[in-house]
Each structure stands twice: as C-alpha cells, then as structure tokens.
Amino acid sequence: MIIPTLHSVLHDESMWETPQSFNPEHFLDQDGQFRKRDAFMPFSTGKRVCLGEQLARMELFLFFTSLLQRFTFSAPAGKQPSLEFRLGVIRSPKPYHLLVTPR
C-alpha cells in the first residue's frame, strides 16, 4: 500500500507565505477576493484523487455556513488554540477551548 504524504506540499515554504500558521489570507487576493492556490490539495491529485471531493466540499460548505450563520466562534480570553497536533492516520488538533456565542 502506498500512502502519499500531503504534508510537504501543504507546508511548502516556496508556495505559502506563512506555511506554519493558520492564515486565511493565503486564499485572498489584494482585493480580499478568493484566490485558488494550486498547492492546496487536501484531496490529493492524479489518478487516485479523492472520489468524494465534490461531496465533501458541499458538506463542508453547508456544515460551516450553517454554524457561522447562527454562532460566533472565538478564543476565550488568553487562550489561543495552537496548531499542535496528534499524529495518526491524519493529523488531529489537540483538545482546545472555544467560545461559541449565539448570533
């Protein structure tokens, strides 16, 4: 079995301005409009590209827009979530606190 690692491209210093940070501006142009990045390939590429990509993108859009329409998410005072992870088949965030306020 071959398991490609996407970590190298998703953290490629020649492709991303701040590869080690959570930075939504990676996906915004100078006018604040969305810009597609070729190096963003969480669903991989080529012959074995994820078959569920379109379904996953639709589900993620519906899931997050529903939540963001109803709640405001923020970090509790003095507690910024970190990018540390637990290594498994995928990288999972370590437990963190989140403040969720109805809009």
Question: Which residues of the chain form contacts with ligand HEM (CB under 6 A)?
Answer: 4, 42-44, 48-52, 55-56
Q: Which helix (H) or strand (E) holds 85?
A: strand 85-87
Quote the least distance from Cβ 10 to ligand HEM, whole Å: 10
Q: List 44's β-bridge partners, or say none.
A: none
Which ranges of 40-81 would DSSP assign to H, the alpha helix? 53-70
The token pair at 75 is: 């970090």
Residue among 48 and 97 whose Cβ is closer to ligand HEM: 48
Cα–Cα distance, 11 to 7 (Å, whole number): 6
Residue among 7 and 97 whose Cβ is closer to ligand HEM: 7
Which residue has its beta carbon closest to ligand HEM? 52
Residue among 51 and 87 whose Cβ is closer to ligand HEM: 51
